[in-house]
Amino acid sequence: MAQQLSEARLDDARRRFFAGHELPEGLVPAEIVKSWQRCVAQGLVGHDLSTIEPLTAMELRERQQRNDLLRHLVRPEISVLRSEAKSTDSVVIITDAHGIVLDAVGSTEFAGQASQVALRPGVLWSEASTGTNAIGTALIERRPISVHGAEHYFEPHRMLACAAAPIFDPYLRLAGVLDMSGHASVQHIHALGLVRLATEQVEHRFFARDFDGCEIVRFQKEADLLGTPREAILVFREGVLIAGNRRAMKLMALDRRAFGTALREDLLLGQADRAGALVTTSGERFVSTPAAPRPRVLAGMDLKEVPKAYFTTETQNALRKAVRLADAGIPLLIQGETGAGKEVFAREMHRHTARNGKPFIAINCAALPESLIEAELFGYIDGAFTGARKQGREGLVQQANGGILFLDEIGDMPLSLQSRMLRVLQDREVMPLGGGKATKVDFLPVAATHRPLKQLVEEGKFRPDLYYRLAHYVVELPPLRDLPGKPDILRALWRQAGAGREGVTLSLEAEERLLAYPWPGNFRQLAGVVRAMLALADPGQRLGPEDLPAEILLPLATLPTAAIAPGASLETLTDDAIRQAIAAAGGNISKAARALGIDRSTLYRRAIWKGVSASRH
């Protein structure tokens, strides 16, 4: 009876809300009302659920691979919750940071019913795409939340009762969402508590990795909580705060802006004493476990020899993993746009591996003439071809013996040569062109490409066996336009390039134009523009927008068209059109979709997939 009264109240509330009337306080939970209001602002219609377009099988696999760490860390909790889900005819769901469903386990019967409302892997469950729902609303509210029955914005979703909690990584970034969903006709009184506890376990497990050489301080107000997921954790590297969990940051009254800036000495008074007492600089006392730095795998790592701007926090973490893998002899594939720093990353990785001091041989597979690439790679004997040296020549692969062979733009390697390279990788021996004796060679292959190598495999343009031989681990380098700290990157490159040009400064207007430009050539293009501006500047000059290259002064709306090279792909043109439409609509997805003449959910999925910034309001 109580449930029927609740449903009746909700139905009345929905009628009032969609009729434009203000709801009495307490009739519907405040977070639900706020979510409904956001949905209206997005142009969503509660009774008209748009067709939801899921990711393709290939896109889903790639999305799952990108979130492999999250899926690995959440696996124990999924196993525990699976039995609860089966007993309550529910499913347990893990999504990425955007709300795309990565995995779903539990009741197969309910999963079949849930798929009718697109609650399945590959579907985006953000608020902007799917209205008020536990996953999307938890992402926006950044806290655990439940959405039951008619609290969902879209009428077809009232069959669901969902409880979800966001998962944060050690840098307080959203990593994903854990959700339990079942029939709205069943009371799921423990679901929210279960997912909240499970996410605490996952977040705690994040700190068991990737902090070599750091001091990890674990503390709490109560000693019984130490060693549990409810302990507070701060991580310091060389006295600087670099990471921490939500509980620690709340206890210390800090937010994520403290990472990379806050000093240990400004937060804590020395180490914990023998009794485990830890005192803050403000005089607050906690209990703590003894803090011992972890073994430093990358001993003496110093980025001064490379432009620091290339190495964001994410890239440094990727670098540490790459060094470990390289020392274990595991081949790597580095993917990123042209100019994103793939070779810089590979050289810095080489500098910190056990192969440091051995050769680093870089080969641009796109620059070598196809007629000579085999001779360049594998060498040749006397008389192998017209113009060959009498003594023959050692190939680049053999020159890399003991070190790293960097195969840049591997996606442009001719198919005819790929089979030969595969044989070398398998046998670790080189046969020079024209015959001769095979030579054993020890090298670590590190490949790089700006092309979608998996797509080339599917199109038959790249050998799948060579791909899987090279891509034991894939490092994704983000494009410059997607990096969060572009102002710091610009200033770091400016300082480095202008070391010998004292007195030359950059006006705020010029800096804003540089930051607004999409930089299709990434770091390489930005560094080149900075050097050119400094070279043309007079001593003591303050550079304004008029001193920028002409292409950067073009109106922002024309930049995508202007940046398109001859022969640009349809995908590139589509992405540029989407960015331009979203920018013109002020980030409003519904308005941009109407301008493009496509469905809003299709545009939002494409924008999220390509990393285009879009407003939720």
Mean pLDDT (whole number) for 274-288: 86
Kindly give the residue spans of alpha helices, DSSP state H, lying in 552-599: 559-563, 570-584, 589-596
What pLDDT was estimated at residue 140? 95
Q: Which residue has the higher pLDDT, 453 or 593?
A: 453
- Is the pLDDT at 561 greater than 70, yes or no? no
Q: How many domains does the chain have?
A: 5
Structural domain includes residue 304: no
User: Are 112 and 195 in the same domain?
Assistant: yes
State pLDDT tens for residues 174-233: 999 999 998 888 777 788 888 999 999 999 989 887 787 788 999 999 888 888 889 999
What pLDDT was estimated at residue 51? 67
User: Are 597 and 537 in the same domain?
Assistant: no
User: Are 56 and 165 in the same domain?
Assistant: yes
Structural domain includes residue 617: no
CA distances from 464 to 181, 243, 418, 454 (A): 38, 39, 10, 8
Mean pLDDT (whole number) for 301-320: 61
DSSP state of 173: -
Q: Give SS3 for 101.
A: strand
Mean pLDDT (whole number) for 379-390: 52
CATH code for position 579: 1.10.10
Mean pLDDT (whole number) for 257-278: 84
Give dist(CA 513, CA 529) in Å, integer.
13
User: Are 462 and 599 in the same domain?
Assistant: no
What is the maximum span of the chain, computed from C-alpha positions, in angstroms?
96
User: Are 419 and 458 in the same domain?
Assistant: yes
CATH code for position 360: 3.40.50.300
What pLDDT was estimated at residue 277? 86
CA distances from 13 to 3, 9, 18, 29, 130 (A): 15, 6, 9, 11, 20
Q: How sure is the predictor about 10, in pLDDT bands with cuts at 50, 70 and 90?
A: confident
Taking the whole predicted model, whether its pTM rises above 0.75 is answered as no
What pLDDT was estimated at residue 386? 41
Which span out of 266-280, 298-312, 556-570 was modeled with the highest average pLDDT?
A: 266-280
What pLDDT was estimated at residue 309? 55
User: Are 67 and 193 in the same domain?
Assistant: yes
Structural domain includes residue 616: no
132, two tokens: 């008020």
Give dist(CA 358, CA 161) in Å, integer.
59
User: Are 400 and 281 in the same domain?
Assistant: no
- Is the pLDDT at 555 greater than 70, yes or no? no
User: Are 402 and 516 in the same domain?
Assistant: no
234 DSSP β-pair partners: 217, 244
- Is the pLDDT at 7 greater than 80, yes or no? no
- Identity of the amino acid at 254: L
What pLDDT was estimated at residue 4? 39
User: Residue 223: which of 285, 170, 291 has the closest Cα?
Assistant: 285
User: Are 371 and 233 in the same domain?
Assistant: no
| 527 contacts: CB under 8 Å, gap ≥ 6 | 307, 493, 497
- What end-to-end distance do the CA atoms of the chain give, in Å? 38
Phi, psi of 446 (to 5 degrees): -125, 115
- Is the pLDDT at 614 greater than 60, yes or no? no
Structural domain includes residue 305: no
User: Are 426 and 570 in the same domain?
Assistant: no
Q: Which residue has the higher pLDDT, 115 or 60?
A: 60
In this prediction, what percent of the chain has a pLDDT beyond 70?
79
Mean pLDDT (whole number) for 53-73: 87
Find the domain containing 494 and state its range.
480-553
77, two tokens: 């909790």
User: Are 39 and 173 in the same domain?
Assistant: yes
Mean pLDDT taken over the chain: 80
CATH code for position 112: 3.30.450.40
Q: How sure is the predictor about 376, in pLDDT bands with cuts at 50, 70 and 90?
A: confident
Structural domain includes residue 306: no
User: Residue 91: which of 74, 110, 77, 73 has the closest Cα?
Assistant: 110
CATH code for position 502: 1.10.8.60
Mean pLDDT (whole number) for 58-63: 88
What pLDDT was estimated at residue 404? 92
Beta strands in 337-389 (DSSP E): 360-364
- Is the pLDDT at 400 greater than 80, yes or no? yes
State pLDDT tens for residues 244-256: 999 999 999 999 8
What pLDDT was estimated at residue 616? 41
In this prediction, what percent of the chain has a pLDDT beyond 90?
24
Structural domain includes residue 259: yes
101 DSSP β-pair partners: 95
Mean pLDDT (whole number) for 420-432: 83
Instruction: Return the residue matching tokens 């092309």.
Output: 451
Which span out of 227-236, 519-528, 550-559 was modeled with the highest average pLDDT?
A: 227-236
Kindly give the residue spans of alpha helices, DSSP state H, lying in 22-67: 30-41, 57-66
- Is the pLDDT at 467 greater than 90, yes or no? yes
Which span out of 12-21, 106-115, 171-180, 367-376 was modeled with the highest average pLDDT?
A: 171-180
**Which of 155, 178, 206 is the last residue in one of the domains?**
206
What pLDDT was estimated at residue 132? 92
Structural domain includes residue 107: yes
State pLDDT tens for residues 355-364: 888 889 888 8
Q: Which residue has the higher pLDDT, 495 or 38?
A: 38
User: Are 187 and 263 in the same domain?
Assistant: no
Structural domain includes residue 337: yes
